[in-house]
Structure 1
Amino acid sequence: MSDSDAQRRADVAVRAAAAGADVAADSFRTGIDVELKGSKTDVVTQADRDAQTAVIERIRSAFPEEPIVGEEEDALKEVPETGPAWIVDPIDGTNNFVDGIRAFGTAVAAVEDGEPIAGGAVFPALGDTYRVGPEGIFRNDESVSVSEATDPETCTVCPTAWWDLNERDRYAALVRSIVTRFDDMRRFGCAQLELMLLASGAFDGVVTDVRMNPWDSVAGVRAVREAGGTVTDLDGDRWRHDSRGLVASNGGIHDELLAAVHEIDSNNSTNRSGNRNH
């Protein structure tokens, strides 16, 4: 795909994300009704559905024939392996949105043959818009990039995504590994925001051993790469939308971040052994 086509898709992604974010912002802190999709904490609102409709309308007006992968309702759930497609998260950070916390937004990614090529993300309550394309990554029209930190003891790392109740021992092990290897830890409950913060130098790493949904990750992954960072799977291979786990960094601490996530299995193996012996 040419740079000019990718730039056009970045423009559409930002406009579409802005349309969805406007819908979300109109409902923020208005006492909206909440429904459960699955577990007790997997929630959805009418604003999620309305925001996705607004995003899809914008994409369809520019690219009417291209498939759209989205979190809510009838949108596709798997990223096509060939050709162009779009990935939509109408409200990333829905739990934050419901609780009146400002860390939520709308993210849109354009992909070609499964690879992200452009994206946009708008966080209306924070006042931040990210545009990601072949010319770089911009926050509110200003170019940003990953940090230059290389000393883990000065770095901040975010454990992103979430673990099922029966896997919280893995989350606890990762948190312990992070806080013993790095300076500090942050978590915002909005994966796309966390990846954008990494891309703009606020974080130095973002990591999980959980398989991420494409709508929670692809736009942010493109942002990190465009900002000069590194994104791999748990084995250090190039991350794809169907990878298990996600290890994203500024590049300078990537090996240490991989070691941190690998320590999960080491700790759990020791704990399981200890439990059996007990």
Structure 2
Amino acid sequence: MSERERAAVVESAARAGARVADEFFRTDIEVETKNGKTDVVTHADRDAQREVIEVVRESFPEDAIVGEEEDELKAVPDRGPVWVIDPIDGTNNYVRDIPVWATSVAAVEDGAAVAAANVLPALGDVYVSNEDGVWLNDEPISVSDEDDPEGFTVSPTVWWSFADRDEYAGICEGLVERFGDLRRFGSAQATLSMVAAGQLEATVTNVETNPWDTVAGVHMVRQAGGRVTDIEGEPWTPESTGLVASNDTRHEDVLAAARRAIE
């Protein structure tokens, strides 16, 4: 099938998974922990991922699946068609009744994303990207054209372990030294979507990221005219260490803030 057909399935699958997740939002749902007290999961995560996979399989039954939950692949293969799924990106927000969370789906071909959708049902927002551009609620969007650092709002994203909180502090210090304002939203996909929409100028982390937290949003930022690199300034890939996404007017300044954590 064509990239356009994959893009249509990306959006329909993300919407379907988001509907399942939204059914349980702000209900008395049981919360489990995985690798830490704030690394949480619910049956809504698993149910939503299964729904996304079911929609994908209707059109692409043989494609590989990378998914955060259950026994799906955990890394993006270098070759062939792949679907990258995060059923609830921002589960810690979700279980605290905070509406900033997303169901994320990306279609990848030979290691590169070709289409993506981030659906934020509690906010009523749907971000979609394909070969032609990026849209928020069917309206075309692009990165901010702000080039004055004092006008920048930047967000650190992807959480740090307790052992590395000094690095998080270093990044925050680097950001407040250089830029006008700071945010943290608790959902990497939502944050990357905001960069693509010009709602933020940049987002940074120096930690290794998971593909389900990043691939869709990275595609959106790039298609919206932004730049995404690793911590060293090289083009970002799912195997990269660190992620620095910006509107590309002051990318080197954002990189310098990100590197503050490891200097």
**TM-score w.r.t. length of structure 2:** 0.99
- 1:238 and 1:201 map into 2 onto residues whose CA distance is 20
Residue 33 of structure 2 aligns with an amino acid whose one-letter code is L
- Cα-Cα RMSD: 0.8
- In 2, the alpha carbon distance for the partners of 1:5 and 1:203 equals 32
Partner amino acid, structure 1, of 2:50: T
Greater Rg over alpha carbons, structure: 1
Q: 2:19 aligns with which of 5, 19, 22?
A: 22
SS in 1 for 2:87: strand
**1:201-258 CA-partner distances (Å, limit 9, x unpaired):** 0000010001110000000000000000000111111100010000100010101001
Aligned position for 1:265: 262
Contact 1:9-1:119 at 8 Å conserved across structures = no
1:97 and 2:94 equivalent? yes
Q: What is the 5 A alignment of 1:215-226? A: 215-226=212-223
1:178 match = 175
1:121 to 118, 122, 125: 118
What does residue 155 of structure 2 align with? 158
Distance 1:256 1:136 in 2: 26
Q: Distance in 2 between matches of 1:28 and 1:134?
A: 32
1:231 matched residue in structure 2: 228
The structure in which a higher percent of residues are strand is 2
Aligned to 1:202: 199
Q: Distance in 2 between matches of 1:110 and 1:116?
A: 6
Q: Where has structure 1 moved over 2 Å in runs of 4 or more?
A: none
What is the alpha-carbon distance in structure 2 between the residues aligned to residue 131 and residue 52 of structure 1?
18
Paired residue secondary structure (2:233): coil
Residue number in structure 2 paired with 1:271: none
Q: Are residue 149 (structure 1) and residue 146 (structure 2) matched?
A: yes
Are 1:82 and 2:79 matched, yes or no? yes
> TM-score under structure 1 normalisation?
0.93
- Secondary structure of the corresponding residue to residue 78 of structure 2: coil
1:131 aligns with 2:111: no
SS for the counterpart of 1:261 is: helix
Question: Which letter maps to 1:165?
Answer: F
Counterpart of 1:189, as a letter, is G
Alignment partners' CA distance in 1, 2:15 and 2:213: 17
Q: What is the aligned-residue identity percentage?
A: 54
Q: Give the drift of 1:262.
A: 1.5
- The answer for the alignment partner of 2:68 in structure 1 is 71
C-alpha distance in structure 2 between counterparts of 1:229 and 1:8, whole Å: 25
How many equivalent residue pairs?
A: 263
1:33 Cα deviation from its structure 2 partner: 0.1
**Please, which runs of 5 or more residues in structure 2 have no aligned partner?**
none
Q: Give the equivalent residue in structure 1 for 2:137.
A: 140
Secondary structure of residue in 2 paired with 1:77: coil
SS of residue paired to 1:106: strand
* Per-residue deviation, 1:31: 1.1
Instruction: Identify the structure with the greater helix proportion.
Output: 1
Q: Tell me the distance in 2 between the aligned counterparts of 1:189 and 1:263.
A: 21
CA shift for structure 1 position 113:
1.0
- What is the SS of the residue equivalent to 1:117? strand
